[in-house]
Amino acid sequence: MGAHIVRQGNKVIGWQFRLYAPNAAAVYLVGDFNHWMQDRVDFDYKTAPFSIYEVHLGSWRKKVLNADDTDTGASTFYSYKEIAEQLIAYVQENHFTHIELLPITEHPLDASWGYQVTGYYSPASRYGNPDELKYLIDQCHQAGIGVILDWVPLHFCKDAHGLYQFDGSWLYEYQEEYDRENHQWGTANFDLSKGVTRSFLLSNMTYWLDNYHFDGIRVDALSYLLYWRGETDPDKTNGPAIDFIKRVTALVHTDFKGVVMIAEDSSAYPKVTHSLEQGGLGFDMKWDLGWMNDTLKYMSRPSYARKYHSNEITFGMYYNPSEQFLLPLSHDEVVHGKHSIVEKIDGDYEDRFRLARAYYSFYFAHPGKNCSLWAMSGGAYSRME
C-alpha cells in the first residue's frame, strides 16, 4: 500500500497509489498536481485595499442576437464563460479587487436578482454549466480578482420543484404557518433549529467553497435570521438561528481559511464582527446600512438645509469602532424607482455631478469599509485603509 513510482525503463512515467478500504463508497486522490483551477486570491483584507464590484450577471450586459435572426433586436444572456473577458477587463479598468455575484444558485425567474432560490446546489443554468462557472472564477483568480458568492440561508421558493413541503411534510421549513410563511417575499423560511436544515445548508456552503473556490461569502438578510420575522426587538432574538450562524462562520474559518465572511445586517445586533471566542457571530465585515441611509438622505437635501442636518453625515463615526463595517451602496439603491446616486442628489444637472464626486471622495476616505454604486444593474463596495 502507499505511493509507488512507476518506471518505464529508467524513466519515471508516473505514480501508483494503493490502499485497502473495502467498504468505501469512493476514494479520491487530492494534491497540487490536479487542481482544476488556481486557488483563492491571497491578500490580507484587513490591511490591503478591498474594493468589490457587485454584479447581476443577467442584466450587467446582454448579448444581442444575430440581426438575421427572426427575432431581430432580441437579446439573450452571456454565459459564465462568454462574460469572463469583458467583466474582468471592466473590473481591472476601475481598480476593483473583487467581484460579488448576486445569487447564481438556480432560481425560477429570469428577471429576478436570484434571491428566491430553488436549486441550492446548482449554478443557474441560464448562464451555462458548472464548468463554465469554474472557468469564470478561474479567470478572475488568474487576473488577481477575488470572487464573492451571495448566499441566501433565510428562505426559499415555494415552487413545486423546490424544497417547499419537500416530502409532503414541512421538512425544511417551520411547522407553524406564522413562522413558516414569509409574506414579504412570498417564500418559506428555513427552520434553522432542525438538524436536517442545518446539515443541508452547512453542506451547501461547503459545496460552493470546496468545488468553486469562492473567496468570500455575503450572507443575505442577516437581521431576519437574528430576530423572529426581522422584528429587531432584543426580546425576539431567534436563538437556534443565531447558533446556526455561528456554526457557519466557524465552519468557514476552520475549513476554508482566508475566505471572507460578510454580513448584510440592518439591525443593531451586537458583536456581529467579533470572534466566537469574544461572544460574537464570527463575521469579518458587516454592511453599514445606517451610514448609507443617513448620508444619502443628507445628499438629497437642498444645499441651504444641509447645515441643519450635519448629524446625518457624521453619525456613522459615533458607532464606527463597534464593528468592522463595509459601507454599502448596492443593488437595493436602484430598485423600485430609487434612482442612481447622481439622481438622488439635490441640485441642478452640473451640480449633481460635482456633489457626487465630493460624496464618493468622502466615502472612500471614511474609516473602515466602503461601498458605492456604479451602474443601474450593479453596485460596488470597497475596503480602504
**Per-residue DSSP letter, 78:** P
At 75, give phi and psi (nearest 5°).
-135, 165
Calculate the alpha carbon distances from 371 to 45, 279, 335, 356 in Å.
15, 27, 17, 14
Nearest to 309 by CA among 335, 354, 265, 346: 346
**Per-residue DSSP letter, 253:** H
Residue 121 has which C-alpha cell?
446546489
Based on the residue annotation, tell me whether 82 is a catalytic residue of this protein: no
At 374, give phi and psi (nearest 5°).
-125, -15
Residue 274 CA to residue 283 CA, distance in Å, equals 7
Contacts of 240 (CB under 8 A, 6+ apart): 192, 193
173 CA to centre of own chain: 23
Which of 138, 264, 265, 323 does the annotation list as catalytic?
264
Nearest to 210 by CA among 11, 349, 35: 35
Nearest to 265 by CA among 282, 250, 279: 282
Residue 238 CA to residue 232 CA, distance in Å, equals 10
Pairing mode, strands 285-287 and 325-326 = parallel
Based on the residue annotation, tell me whether 85 is a catalytic residue of this protein: no
**Per-residue DSSP letter, 237:** B
Task: Say what angle helices 239-255 and 195-212 make with each other, to 10 degrees.
Answer: 30
Residue 157 CA to residue 119 CA, distance in Å, equals 9
Which of 100, 215, 220, 265 does the annotation list as catalytic?
220
**Residues with catalytic annotation?**
220, 264
